[in-house]
Amino acid sequence: MAENATYIKGEELLKVFKNLPWDDLFIRMEAYIVYSLRYKYGNEDGNEQLKTKAHEIINEVIDLIFVTGSRNWCKEDCPDFTDFLFGVVKSHINNSFNKKPKKFEPLDDKLEGQLNIQDTISADELRKTIFDELKTLNADDEELMVFECMADGITKPDKISQELGVDSTYLNNILRRLYRKISKIKNKISDK
């Protein structure tokens, strides 16, 4: 990543969004996703199911870039927006297949042992419980996005920083706030 990277946001990003050749781009993204799902990840669903999954992924990627802003375009690193868009699609598919949703594992070494919950609670239930508690504690969007990364198994700060498009110093501040809130949740849960 560029040292003093400039991220395209807001009105400028909206302008890019409006000027994209969506008819062609949608077909190319759909074909890329269907191909990846079938040949890279061995998905044996029929064409219609794969197209439906491709449409879901496209919507999720558009949401990540244009709605939540959790994926940021750095024009210096990736001058062509279409290349950036396909990179986000590839990353999103890869992250979706590399999730470990079976049982809750500690989010990070710093959190190990902080959350002592019965093994009978599924990872999804625990994730939702913690997410809801974070919202109750007024966690901001950045803290929630970092928590989601960690819950998805992306626990190394450099990987989270890359995933969210934020520098490491900024991420460390988010992590400190998040750990304080997690500690409060742990105390609340252990008091029950």
pLDDT tens, residue by residue, 117-165? 444 456 777 788 888 888 888 888 888 888 888 888 888 888 888 888 8
Question: What is the sign, positive or negative, of the torsion defined by CA atoms of 43, 48, 51, 56?
Answer: negative
| Cβ proximity of 135 and 189 under 8 Å | no
CB atoms within 10 A of CB 188: 12
Give the pLDDT score at 113.
46
Give the pLDDT score at 4.
66
| Cβ proximity of 145 and 68 under 8 Å | yes
Nearest to 189 by CA among 137, 129, 104, 149: 129
Q: What is the pLDDT of residues 90-125, one digit of tens each?
A: 988 888 877 544 343 444 444 444 444 444 456 777
Q: What is the pLDDT of residues 51-99, one digit of tens each?
A: 999 999 998 888 888 777 788 888 888 888 888 899 899 988 888 877 5
Residue 74: phi and psi, rounded to 5, are -105, 105
Tokens of 16: 């890019």
Mean pLDDT to the nearest integer, 25-31: 92
Give the pLDDT score at 108.
47
Predicted confidence band of residue 29 (pLDDT cuts 50, 70, 90): very high
